[in-house]
Every structure is written in structure tokens, then in C-alpha cells.
Amino acid sequence: MRRRSKKSAAKDSRSGLSIDDSRVAFASAQRLEHGIIRLAASVFEADGNNADRAHDLAARMRKIVPGKARVTSVLPDHSYQVLLVEVPNVPADEINAAARWQIKDLLDFPVDDTIVEMFELPTQSTADGKAMGYAVAARRNSIQEHIELLKSAGLSLDVIDIPELCMRNIATLLPQDSSGVAFLHFTQNHGILTITRRGVLYLLRRIEKGRSAINAAATGEFAHADLEATTGLEILSSPDDAAGNSAFADDFSRSELVATIVQEIQRSLDFYDSHYDCEPLTELVLSPGSNIGGLAQALNDQLGLAVSSLNFNRLFEMQSELSTPEQGACLLAIGAALRSESLAA
């Protein structure tokens, strides 16, 4: 009985790993009875040029990841694209190859260096019978380098996922998902928005404004050169004028930034409402730490949605509670660990 119990636990466990140039995040998710998920996560700063990176990765990951757990790793931002396209009308085993040539002119990198995988979306009410889906195109050499790093670290890699689908894995577990929910997360350089309903992904959108831009706007760190380029105003040099211009820059940059984020979310909501026979969305959930500078209130005021912030400490059974910054840093790794075969793209 003990052996069977251990085997069952390993089968129901998955680990997630997220790596960027300066930070590595781990997570481990174990699915228990009655839908309970036990979660552990950790993050540490890492030198992307460290020659012993694989050894360091292995040593740190052993502290949190069960030895036999399946590992899902998150593909770095710069190594892939996600494109909304019509699903090629070919046999199922030929779809990825057909999509690869369908999107070749839309890629930022050579098609010969590209691996493509399609996943379909629900049937759209306005699609005239055409199946739509997302084509995930990744650089072949980037994937190989990623695999080699994890192999050198002695990790048992099961799946490589993308940040958008890691977001989806979390969104489908939110209580608001039962009636449909928009879920918004910001990395340093951009935002990711998902729309899910009853465990099904309906939409992905990338927002070209990230945490660094929001932080800058919220704290008034707005470059004079940017202000001059945007408004044509000359920045004066006297102390009084500088203070006035700084306040103006703060207000201007914050309002412009919020307007950009609101516009992208509104476009996503409009697409969802016009393409699917579902009730309009009424709720938006921000990832931990994304309510920067009162963003939640601005989104509530301008979009009319109920806006709330996610707290992993309340959603899951945590091995150790995480601070809000830690939750944000570990979010993609947590999403990777929450991958379910029923949701697999």
C-alpha cells in the first residue's frame, strides 16, 4: 500500500520551471483528493552568463522539486511567437506542418528554423464554419538550447510550455472562471491577458506595456526625452519649472499608459462578445503584484468590470506562504506546474 501511495503521489505531481536572464523560479503542484492542490514555490536571482548555471540550477531545484515529478519548463519570451490564424483544412497529423508555411511571412525569424504547434479555439459564432486557433512558432535552436540546459541539470523534462498557456492553467482554476474571467499578468516588458470560461481558453492577447513601464509611471520616473518626443514640449531647467514638468510628466505618462492597457483589454472583450455566444464578462483578475499605482481602480472605472487581485495563499494549500512579489515572480512556474493533461494544447 505504501508503494502504491508513493507512486500515485508522483503521478499526481508536476513541477514547473521558469528561467530568464536574471531569475529562476520553481514550483511544485500536487493534486490531492477533493480538488485540493498543494503548492510549493521559490525564486532566486541567477547570472545568465554563469558557466555553472546547470549545476546551480540542479542544486537549487532539488530542494523543492520531488525527484520523480514531471517537469514543465516555460519557454523564454524572445524565442517564440503566438499568431491567431485559420486552422489549415488538412488531416490532423498534417496541421502543424501546414500552419508552419501558412505563417511563414508573419514570423520574426526564418521559417526553416521554426517549430510550429497549433491549438484550436472554441467554435466562433461569426467564423462561417472556419476553425480558428493559435499557432505557436518557436525557434528550433532556442528550444534545443533550453533542452540541453535542463538535461545538463539532470532534470526530467516532460513538456515545454509558453507563458500564455501557463497563464491559462491558472485562470481555469479561478472561482470566476465558471462564468468567464479575464486574467491579466505583467512581466517586466509586457502584459499577458487570457479569457477563459468553464476551463476553456477563448482568447490570448499580449500587451506591449510591462511592469517596468507601469512602475515608472506610478512613481513618476518619466524621462524628459520621452516627454519631449511625445508632446513636443521643451523641458525647462529652473527648479520650479522642473518640478512642474515632473508632475505633468507623471500625470501624462500614467494616463497614457492606463489608456493603452484599457484599450487592449477593451478590444479583447469586444472580440469575445462579438465572436462567441457567451454572456459578457463582468470580472477581471490581476496577477499578484499587478495592481501598481492603483491600476485596479482605473480598470474598474473605465471598463466597468469587477477587478480583484489573485492571492495564491488563498487559492491553494501552500507549503509555505509567499509574499506578493514572490507570487508574481513565481507565477509562470506555478502555471507550468498546474498543467493538466485535459488542458494540454
Domain spans of the chain, in order of start: 79-141, 175-309
pLDDT at 108: 85
**Positions of the chain with pLDDT under 50:** 1-10, 222-250, 252
Dist CA 79 CA 94 (whole Å): 23
* Residue 184 φ then ψ, to 5°: -125, 130
Which amino acid, one-letter code, is at 143? I
pLDDT at 68: 63
| Cβ partners under 8 Å of residue 308, min gap 6 | 176, 283, 284, 285, 286, 296
pLDDT at 58: 67
DSSP result, 47-82: -TT-TTHHHHHHHHHTTTS-TT-EEEEEPPGGGEEE
Dist CA 120 CA 130 (whole Å): 11
pLDDT, one tens digit per residue, over 214-273 is 877 766 654 433 433 333 333 333 344 444 444 434 454 567 888 889 999 999 999 999
pLDDT at 244: 43
Q: Looking at the structure, give the CATH architecture of the domain made up of residues 175-309.
A: 2-Layer Sandwich (3.30)
Dist CA 322 CA 313 (whole Å): 7
Question: Identical fold at 79-141 and 175-309?
Answer: yes
pLDDT at 113: 86
pLDDT at 242: 44
pLDDT at 103: 94
Q: Which CATH class is domain 79-141?
A: alpha beta
